[in-house]
Amino acid sequence: MIKSICKRCEKEFLIYKCRISQKRGKYCSRRCYALDQKGHAPSGFYIKGEAPWNKGKKREYSLPTQHKIGSITIRKDANGKKRRWIKIGHPSKWIQYSHYIFRKHTRINTFNKIIHHLDKNPLNDTFKNLQIVSRSDHMKLHLNKERKLCK
């Protein structure tokens, strides 16, 4: 390693000989290189002693692609069936739309319960099509139907 002087800040730093033969090693850091070439520090760099850009802000900034509260999307669940999901809070609080509709109409907590679609269409989330059942009862509903099909 040899000593070299930074072209921007004139600070002395150590560098490998091969870097000089590659016509590199003129700057002590990427920050000095960016300041010299572009006139500003590269984005993503935090300079010691300076305040971060988002200090004091509480999620006031919003990306154009960020979902707003109340937005509804269609996703596949673990079994590959399409279901509607609704965003109910920040930063990323989503629940199934069928649970949201059932809670809205009945005020019953659907945690640890299954919302069964009577017409077997998981995208039809009208209140008349929804029925709340326990996990064991839901299994019995579907097992009886599968047994009838196998006979």
* Span of 58-72, 79-93, 124-138 with lowest mean pLDDT: 58-72
Paired strand residues for 5: 12
Per DSSP, helices labelled H in 9-134 are 17-21, 30-38, 97-106
Per-residue pLDDT tens digits for 113-148: 899 999 989 999 999 999 999 888 888 888 866 555
Residue 3's DSSP bridge partners are: 14
Q: Mean pLDDT over residues 4-18, rounded? A: 88
Spell out the domains of the chain, with CATH numbers in brackets: 2-38 (no CATH), 72-150 (3.90.75.20)
The whole-number pLDDT of residue 64 equals 61
For the chain, the residue count is 151
pLDDT at 82 over 90: yes
